[in-house]
């Protein structure tokens, strides 16, 4: 059987790029959420929260670099179109990530009386990065069009995604912390879940009305029946997780990782819905995967490099999470 490489290679790279984005959102989502939760924690709790993400947060951003790199080399035309339309929020995202990274290291080195400034900077950087990502997603969903309705939709998605990151951060703290901080994390998760569920419902209701193409794709038969399980399963998972928060922390620290795994599944279901809504476009309503793709010869060469790089990133991630699994200890730089 002969493989149609000009057709298959763009699909392969679109799938790899989507996988990198999903992994980034799940992994970097929890440490961005923990940064936002700095606003509700005392100084001692902030140190424990930093210890819970210290071995992972920098490596988590590797997936964002991979996703943007794949967009650049595999879909160069789309890369230029998307980043040009999102220039300001991309700048805000980079500023937030840089501020967060600087604050992470400086808070451990400065005298105690100046530590609060860098704690505030870590909170600000995490908040800016989260809001910028959500805003970009909202504008992208509506096809990168100008106008106040698109801006307002972007703001709605920004708030929803930030709330979801807070829920992920709280769920990660339930797994990594103990004592009073773990009890607080359960309470934070319960409150964040309500906002996240309401936000996802609002975005899901607004999206098809804001985009006629997505409305047609969601509600036309038989597509409706293929898509319907995604919100139904997500709703069941939200209810299960919310009920679980009233039984945590459990004796023997049972189910400590369960909230994070449930939220990761919800994120994956939401991502599947978005991928279904966008396909076959890489720039909504303007450019398909094949129209934006680089030449098949270029994609073939890039695929060889990806075949070496991707297993290394995956292997390192599994190794790091295995080595630093369990409860967080003191994070020291001396």
pLDDT at 1: 56
Two tokens at 27? 């992994």
pLDDT at 334: 54
Bridge partners, 287 (sequence order)? 283
Two tokens at 233? 């399963």
**Interatomic CA distance for residues 171 and 165, integer angstroms:** 10
pLDDT < 50 regions, the chain: none
Reported as a single tens digit per residue, the pLDDT across 119-139 is 999 999 999 999 999 999 988
**Interatomic CA distance for residues 65 and 81, integer angstroms:** 18
pLDDT at 135: 94
**Interatomic CA distance for residues 273 and 113, integer angstroms:** 48
Neighbours of 109 (CB within 10 A): 11
pLDDT at 90: 93
pLDDT at 99: 94
DSSP notation for 160-180: HHHHHHHHHHHHHHHHH--TH
Reported as a single tens digit per residue, the pLDDT across 196-206 is 998 888 888 77
Two tokens at 125? 């950087």
Cis peptide bond prior to 198, omega within 30° of 0: no
Total residues belonging to the chain:
334
Reported as a single tens digit per residue, the pLDDT across 285-307 is 888 999 999 888 889 998 998 88
Taking the model in full, what pTM does it have?
A: 0.92
């Amino acid at each position: 059987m002969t493989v149609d490489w000009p057709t298959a290679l763009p699909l392969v790279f679109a799938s790899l790029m989507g996988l990198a984005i999903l992994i980034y959102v799940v992994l970097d989502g929890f440490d961005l959420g923990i940064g936002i939760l700095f606003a509700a924690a005392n100084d001692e709790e902030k140190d424990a929260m930093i210890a819970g993400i210290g071995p992972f947060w920098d490596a988590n951003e590797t997936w964002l670099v991979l996703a943007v790199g794949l967009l650049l080399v595999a879909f160069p035309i789309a890369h230029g179109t998307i980043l040009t339309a999102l220039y300001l929020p991309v700048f805000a995202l980079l500023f937030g990530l840089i501020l967060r990274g600087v604050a992470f290291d400086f808070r451990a080195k400065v005298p105690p009386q100046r530590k609060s400034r860098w704690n505030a900077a870590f909170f600000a950087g995490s908040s800016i990065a989260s809001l910028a990502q959500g805003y970009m997603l909202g504008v992208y969903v509506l096809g990168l069009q100008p106008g106040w309705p698109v801006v307002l939709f972007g703001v709605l998605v920004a708030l929803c995604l930030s709330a979801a990151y807070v829920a992920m951060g709280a769920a990660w703290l339930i797994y990594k912390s103990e004592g009073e901080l773990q009890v607080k994390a359960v309470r934070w998760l319960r409150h964040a879940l309500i906002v996240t569920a309401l936000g996802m419902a609002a975005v899901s209701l607004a999206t098809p009305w804001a985009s006629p193409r997505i409305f047609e794709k969601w509600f036309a038969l038989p597509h409706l029946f293929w898509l319907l399980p995604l919100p139904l399963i997500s709703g069941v998972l939200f209810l299960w997780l919310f009920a679980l928060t009233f039984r945590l922390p459990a004796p023997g620290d049972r189910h400590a990782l369960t909230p994070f795994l449930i939220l990761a599944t919800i994120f994956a279901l939401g991502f599947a819905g978005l991928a279904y809504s966008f396909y076959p476009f890489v720039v909504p309503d303007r450019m398909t995967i094949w129209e934006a793709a680089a030449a098949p010869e270029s994609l073939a060469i890039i695929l060889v490099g990806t075949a070496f790089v991707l297993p290394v990133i995956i292997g390192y991630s599994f190794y790091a999470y295995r080595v630093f699994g369990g409860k967080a200890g003191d994070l020291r730089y001396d």
